[in-house]
Amino acid sequence: MADYKDVPIRDVLEALGARKAGKNMYYSTFRKDSSPSMSVSFSKNVWYDHGVGKGGGPVELVMETLGCPFREAKAFIAGIPSGVAAPVIPSDNGDGDSSDDGVPGIEVKSVREISSRRLLFYGWKRGIPWRILTRYCGEAKVAFTSSGKECTLLSFENNAGGYVLRSTGKMKISSKAGITTFDAEGERSVVPTSDKVFIFEGFFDFLSWKRMAEDGHADGEGDCVVLNSVANVESAMAFISSHGKMVSYLDADEAGRNCLQTIRRRFPSVDVVDMAESFGECKDLNEVLVERIREQKVRNSDKIPRKTLPERK
């Protein structure tokens, strides 16, 4: 994993929900700011708040914004996917539970039905309607244990009693590692109810599949397992093994392909369908959905009659 200092400050600003005001200007992330006063140098990976005369790199920005110590700020940054840092999702011990409580220094205080417009809008931007988002996800109040600073994140529960937590930026962390399984009715269950199982890497891919199945663009009949990280694949083997038909929606990247090969080696007599072959240029199923929605909007706009000026006589 890359050093925390190498994570682009642009990704950190997005994960913190910073308000951009110009090419290199933002509103302060840690105080009330009526006008943008924080300048950012992306080339030097530093920031400076002119209103209070403070500045630094990514870790100092997180410490100021969340009111957390150095160690927790590093843990926060480690959970931000970027060009050099992958999301940190702790691996588990192979039975769907974990001896690791996930990213240190965070505590899920409560989880409730989503009411935050910010989180609902985030789901909408990724093609997930509120009826699906609110059925499978929650609104989690997360605290940094040392400072008591709290923030609201999108949550997706796993079988281990932990949560995958996402900001409206790129931050993705886990309070406790584990897979999430569903029966053929779309209800949380560890008991298989179908001969077919659909395998997903992340929960947004699962939600995208639910949306596409509703729209008639995907087969929606079967049990489901969401790995929440390819590192959790061994935990899913027992659930997967109860099915005679397997359909993989794992990502179309090296990690996804390696995970698929692991499953195929474990079940050599089963034909595991690789749906990533139909993703085109997209990396995962959510990208496929977003692109499909974009193309549909373009087609619909082309059908709208254009007003033309009358010809001159």
Tell me what percent of the residues of the chain surpass a pLDDT of 90.
51
Distance CA 117, CA 115 (A): 6
Regarding the domain with residue range 4-78, which homologous superfamily does it belong to in the CATH classification? Zinc finger, CHC2-typedomain (3.90.580.10)
Confidence of residue 4 (pLDDT cuts 50, 70, 90): low
Distance CA 31, CA 18 (A): 11
Q: Where residue 29 falls among pLDDT bands split at 50, 70, 90?
A: confident
Average pLDDT value for residue range 110-115: 93
Structure tokens at 165: 């937590």
Least confident of 167-176, 177-186, 281-290: 167-176
CA angle 183, 220, 168 (to 5 degrees): 85
Q: Per-residue confidence at 21, pLDDT binned at 50, 70, 90?
A: confident
The CATH architecture of the domain made up of 180-289 is: 3-Layer(aba) Sandwich (3.40)
Residues 6+ apart with CB under 8 A from 252: 276, 279, 282, 283, 284
Q: Residue 245 forms beta bridges with which residues?
A: 196
Name 108's bridge partners. Answer: 142
Would residue 197 be called left, alpha or beta, if left means φ above 0 and alpha means ψ between -120 and 50 degrees? beta
Residue 88 has a pLDDT of 33
Q: What is the pLDDT of residue 82?
A: 41
Closest Cα to residue 265, out of 281, 251, 246? Answer: 246
Helix-helix angle 203-214:285-303, to 10 degrees: 40
Rounded average pLDDT over 120-139: 93
Whose CA is closest to 28, among 10, 45, 51? 51
Nearest to 110 by CA among 175, 160, 62, 204: 175
* Alpha carbons 14 and 139: distance in angstroms, whole number: 19
Return the minimum-mean-pLDDT range out of 42-51, 235-244, 299-308: 299-308
Task: Assess whether pLDDT exceeds 80 at residue 154.
Answer: yes
Q: Which pLDDT does position 292 carry in this prediction?
A: 92
Per the model's pLDDT, the better-predicted residue between 182 and 90 turns out to be 182
Of 264 and 107, more confident: 264
Confidence category of residue 311, pLDDT binned at 50, 70, 90: low
- Rounded to whole angstroms, how far apart are CA atoms 75 and 284? 26
Residue 96, pLDDT > 70, answer no
Domains in the chain: boundaries: 4-78, 106-174, 180-289
Spatial separation of the C-alpha atoms in residues 214 and 258, rounded to whole Å: 30
- Per-residue pLDDT for 277 more than 50? yes
Q: Name the residue with tokens 């996804």.
A: 256
Amino acid identity for residue 277 in this structure: E
pLDDT, average across residues 121-132: 91
Give per-residue pLDDT as tens, 177-227: 899 999 999 999 999 999 999 999 999 999 999 999 999 989 989 999 999
Distance of alpha carbon 118 from alpha carbon 279, whole angstroms: 29
